[in-house]
A and B are shown apart, each in its own frame.
Chain A
Amino acid sequence: MSIAVIRFPGTNNEDDVLRALAQIPGAKPYLVQSRKGLAGLKDADGVVIPGGFSYGDYLRAGAVASVDVIVEGIRDLAEDGKPVLGICNGFQILAETGILQGVLLPNQSARFVCKWVYLKVSEQTTLFTENIENAVLRLPIAHAEGNYFCPEEQLVPLWDEGRIPFTYCDSRGQVTDDANPNGSIDNIAGIINQKGNVLGMMPHPERASRPLLGSTDGLQILENFVRATK
């Protein structure tokens, strides 16, 4: 199905995402530059906002991109129930737009962090985690502002409604403080909107999509995303 992969000025993971999606049967990913505006999303059955530094991440990560015209098109698609995936900077943009709740603060270390992490997949089935419930995945992260935070009144429903598909854990699946790479509340690595069709996550599934890269765990998330576009 047709998947729009958005490139804002400064986005830099678009080729990685296009390449990873292209290996999945049935996926027809194509690049949409943000300046195309709403027209760029006309035929999209789903949208991926890849990582990078949209508009240089000046002001705050994702802040400038979140007021780009094309974002209104993404919001409409999300309201229509089409699957939307924001990875890293894409998650930051979705949080800035309010399509997803909460904010991504600077990492607790105040430094950029790039490393491999383990993710505990929640036991509740979501659109994006079919067949990998309860699994421990190995994916890389690379961000300076990935410290997820939201107030208690949002956090409780996130948990109650099974909208926290990924938490940082150790290699045995234990969700510990040591395994938290950025200070995120409750070790949260990704969240889903109320409707269940929009996922934002800091780790990079596209960078764990070929055996040569050291892991194929991310491919399963992308496969679920592609299936949901049908």
Chain B
Amino acid sequence: MITREELQHATKVLGREPTKTELGMLDVLWSEHCSYKSSKRWFYLFKTTADNVALGIGEGAGLVDIGGGYYVGVAMESHNHPSQIDPYNGAATGVGGIIRDVISQGCKAVGLMNCLRFGHPEKPHNAYLLENVVRGISEYGNSVGIPVVGGEIEFDESYDDNCLVNVVCVGYVKPEKVVRSSARTPGHYLIMFGSTTGRDGIAGVSFASETFSNEEEENRGAVQIGDPLAKKVLIDTLSELIEEELIDGLQDFGGGGMTSAAGELARAGGTGIEIHLERVPLREDDMDPSEIIISESQERMLAIIAPEKMDRAKVILEKNDTTYAVIGTVTDDLQYTAKYKGEVVASLPISLLVDGFPVPERIEGKITAQTESLSWFKEPEDYGTTILMLLQSANICDRSWIYSQYDQHVQSNTVVDLGENAGVLEFPNGRLLAFTSDCNSFWCKLDPQTGTANSAAESLRNLVSMGARPLFIADCLNFGNPERPESYAQFVESVRGLGRFSHDFDIPIIGGNVSLYNETVIDGKNRRINPTPQIMISGIFNQGFNPIKRNLVTPWANIFLVGETFPELNGSEFQRLILGEVKGIPPKYQPTTEKNSMNAILEAHERGLIRSCNNVGRGGIAVALLKMVLKSDFGFKLNMDYIPGTINSIGQGLFSETSSRYLAEVTESNQPEFLKLIEKHGTTCCELGLTTTDPIADFGRFAIRTSDARKAFSGGLSKYLE
């Protein structure tokens, strides 16, 4: 809710008390969700520009030039609070909202991703949330006809009371068809079209900007209800309007409803707007003007159309049976004026409404210092059993129970399905783009800055292992209550980490979202999520390059480990499994060595030297190697005794999560050239061994049958679910 200082500020600027309607409008637009009032002040740390960035942070979607007369568009958002209350509708409308962000920029939506966090699925309520979030995403995305091309999931008890549902939508648009979210010309009309307006989602953003208490049930009315059929018809209608260039400005109805949509259009265009609320097509007759103006009913768009184009636009809207209404006009008075049956119910300066809030003071607390100590580490007695345990850990195992419910092939552009390091889509200019996302919340919990930078590096390695060059970043930053110093410190440190990464690797951040207040007070005890900066990176392949997958494809090829390994087991999945918790200083972020190994792998891919490739992440080399045989007809025979770096034992070598490392399958004839490249780029590598025709993962001192690995991997998650 609006604070006392904010109310005083508004009263002072207005020279009077705000009306009931105005109060509702200020409440939603000054909420953390809409205003970014605790977070925006740090965005200067990000690298946001580059030659190919056509539209950066600030509108519905970021746009990047991919050549051949096309931009790729991307938007990323959270729908955490609604999904915790009503997982099916919350997740479905999260997908609906992110699609709207992308199409409102004029894009055709071609891909979806989702990044999820839940408490451990062995608790029935967490399994229930997971099943219904997945069903919500699946039924909505499948119906609208947009393939899911990527995603990731992690489980930890810190998400027991605050699950996270972050969604990404990818699209493309020709530069001349880009639609901006601004109302530039006084006299133009405001047309709303799509679904009617009801009471669902009233003040959803305000509820998303507070922490949960034990009484969650009463917030169910704040969750919107999705309608994928209406969305599909909306998309088809919109694409006709865009094709005929009838729209001068466009904004979707998202968080904050009409208050936000119209306010942001006027703010971006340097204009004002006048709206007649009685013209809004309603679902429920007896709605108050104060409800109409903040309703977050789904599947609605607000377009700015010039008077001379109105007739043609009406023909298209009517032909498609789309509900629409001319609800107002663009003005030059810089005011947001809302009338209801002739009476003025709100008249606020746009500059006050959109970002005229008094900037709140936030205190950055201290992050608890961690130690390097490995005193907890004991060499496992049975490596094979330990590896099988890791493979079936909910944070590593097979996710096909989830992604088999998502249509991955609709639109017929999907080159690489889910279950690889990244999903790959073909764009109409013939270029292939890869999409991946990562966040290791355990690293981030121990050291938010390093953990964030390293999560981004893990995303980067996903792309590089397939042969894609990083192109842009979108992020979704999920944290606790910014009014608490320790939560705020986690957020600020994390932004520093992401900022560093974006500059170190020269990758622009073109879109994102911040979700705060992901904490809950249960019986007087405060429970906060692990810091969860979700980092999505897209990469582009050279023309004609076929993405490289991770399953071994030839017998008697060499398997190389690129990069050095240090005894970095604090924060690792191995530690979590052995101790039941993570502690200590997590793996270091090492931009220089990371860049060296990236450049070596990318050049080796360009020259066609690598048959299959995997990056080393959660679970260390052991898990990375097994992922290369799970879907392969081949096995391997290795010697793990001489791993470059400073590790002191086989176990440390197998399970360390040091960054900058890759595994590459290289045939004998390509070996000399590959080794030359490794040297040229100043990185190191060692030959671990050979691929074999036996279905056995032979590590030298011990071996695992591929069939056992497959069994452990495939059952890890599905055993908790229906």
A113 to B403, CA, bound (A): 9
Interface string of B107-133 (1 = CB under 8 A from A): 000000000000000000000000000
Closest chain A CB from B58 CB (angstroms): 31
With a cutoff of 8 Å between Cβ atoms, the chain B residues found around residue A112 in the complex are 138-139, 142, 405-407
Comparing A52-60, A130-138, A193-201, the segment that makes contact with chain B is A52-60
A9 touches B138 (CB 8 A): no
A210 to B139, CA, bound (A): 27
Q: Name the one of B142, B403, B409 contacting A53, with C-beta atoms under 8 angstroms.
A: B142
Among residues of A, the one whose C-beta sits closest to the C-beta of B418 is: A114
B228 touches A53 (CB 8 A): yes
With a cutoff of 8 Å between Cβ atoms, the chain B residues found around residue A210 in the complex are 412
Contacts A142-B142, A212-B415, A213-B414 known; A114 to B229 CB distance under 8 Å?
Answer: no
B410 touches A16 (CB 8 A): yes
Contacts A20-B412, A212-B426, A213-B415 known; A142 to B229 CB distance under 8 Å?
Answer: no
Closest chain A CB from B247 CB (angstroms): 22
B404 touches A9 (CB 8 A): no
Among residues of B, the one whose C-beta sits closest to the C-beta of A207 is: B409
A9 touches B412 (CB 8 A): no
A142 to B407, CA, bound (A): 6
A115 in the interface (beta carbon within 8 A) = yes
B228 touches A56 (CB 8 A): yes
A174 in the interface (beta carbon within 8 A) = no
Query: For chain A, what secondary structure do more than half of its interface residues adopt (helix, strand, loop), or is it mixed?
Result: mixed
With a cutoff of 8 Å between Cβ atoms, the chain B residues found around residue A66 in the complex are none
Interface size on B, residues (CB 8 A): 27
Q: Name the one of B228, B232, B404 contacting A114, with C-beta atoms under 8 angstroms.
A: B404
With a cutoff of 8 Å between Cβ atoms, the chain B residues found around residue A229 in the complex are none
A12 in the interface (beta carbon within 8 A) = yes
A140 in the interface (beta carbon within 8 A) = yes
B452 in the interface (beta carbon within 8 A) = no
A212 to B413, CA, bound (A): 9
B408 in the interface (beta carbon within 8 A) = yes
B229 touches A10 (CB 8 A): yes
A9 touches B229 (CB 8 A): yes
A220 in the interface (beta carbon within 8 A) = no
With a cutoff of 8 Å between Cβ atoms, the chain A residues found around residue B232 in the complex are 9-10, 12, 53
Interface size on A, residues (CB 8 A): 33
* B135, B139, B410: most-surrounded residue (chain A CB, <10 A): B410
Closest chain A CB from B37 CB (angstroms): 39
A13 touches B145 (CB 8 A): yes
A51 to B406, CA, bound (A): 15
Contacts A111-B405, A142-B407, A206-B412 known; A55 to B144 CB distance under 8 Å?
Answer: no
Closest chain A CB from B482 CB (angstroms): 38
In A185-222, which residues have CB < 8 Å from any B CB?
Answer: 204, 206-207, 209-210, 212-214
Number of CB contacts from chain A to chain B under 8 A: 83
Closest chain B CB from A168 CB (angstroms): 15
A204 to B409, CA, bound (A): 9
B145 touches A114 (CB 8 A): no
Among residues of B, the one whose C-beta sits closest to the C-beta of A116 is: B417
B411 in the interface (beta carbon within 8 A) = yes
In B406-446, which residues have CB < 8 Å from any A CB?
Answer: 406-412, 414-415, 417, 426
With a cutoff of 8 Å between Cβ atoms, the chain A residues found around residue B403 in the complex are 114
A209 touches B228 (CB 8 A): no
Closest chain B CB from A152 CB (angstroms): 31
Interface string of B212-252 (1 = CB under 8 A from A): 00000000000000011100110000000000000000000
In A84-114, which residues have CB < 8 Å from any B CB?
Answer: 110-114
A144 to B404, CA, bound (A): 11
Q: A16-B410, A56-B227 known; 15 other A-B pairs, CB under 8 Å?
A: A9-B233, A12-B232, A12-B410, A13-B145, A13-B410, A16-B411, A52-B143, A110-B722, A112-B142, A112-B405, A112-B407, A114-B142, A142-B142, A142-B410, A204-B409
Chain A residues with CB under 8 Å of chain B are: 9-10, 12-13, 15-16, 19-20, 51-53, 55-58, 110-116, 140, 142, 144, 204, 206-207, 209-210, 212-214
Q: Can you show 26 pairs from A to B with CB atoms below 8 A apart?
A: A9-B229, A9-B233, A12-B144, A12-B232, A15-B411, A16-B410, A19-B412, A20-B412, A51-B410, A53-B143, A53-B228, A53-B232, A56-B228, A112-B138, A112-B406, A112-B407, A113-B404, A113-B405, A114-B403, A114-B404, A114-B406, A115-B404, A207-B410, A212-B426, A213-B409, A213-B414
